[in-house]
Amino acid sequence: METPSNNFIKLIHYPDLNAVECLWLEDTKIMTDKQYREYVLEFAEFIKKKRPKNVIVNTKKFDFIINVTTQTWLIENLYPVYAELQIEKHAIICSTDFVAEISIEQVLEEEVTHPFENAYFEDLEKAKEWIAKT
């Protein structure tokens, strides 16, 4: 089940997997830091509304470099939502942009105490298979 999207992000709910997906789109290459933060907060609200146990962040087309300040902001603003909802699995669909992918990995490495399983995948179907396994 999809929600309305914009040029940067599409939020998708998979009730059968008890999961949500944050699909970042190609236009992220023209996104500003302020817009990135706004869309992360929109994703956080979507998660609170749907209350999943699993999250997929699809960065395959993500083309935005997350600066260090925003990496810290992300950890402080999104990870508490994950903790509140007791997210169990966090799947990352890897970006084709190496520099953008490094900034995403740095965010995940910063939060070494996260209570959820974290895994990287090349495609959505493999991520869904992993989430479906209990």
Give per-residue pLDDT as tens, 38-70.
999 999 999 999 999 999 999 999 889 999 999
Instruction: Give me the number of domains the chain comprises.
Output: 1
For residue 98, pLDDT over 90 is answered with no
pLDDT value at residue 40: 95
Mean per-residue pLDDT for 90-117?
Answer: 66
Mean per-residue pLDDT for 60-89?
Answer: 92
pLDDT value at residue 6: 83
Q: DSSP label at 95?
A: P
pLDDT value at residue 99: 45
Query: What are 25's two structure tokens?
Result: 């789109």
Confidence bin at 121 (pLDDT 50/70/90):
confident
Range of the domain at 49: 9-132
1 within some domain = no
22 within some domain = yes
4 within some domain = no
Q: How far is CA 84 from CA 3, 51, 52, 79, 80, in A?
A: 23, 10, 11, 9, 6
End-to-end CA distance of the chain: 22
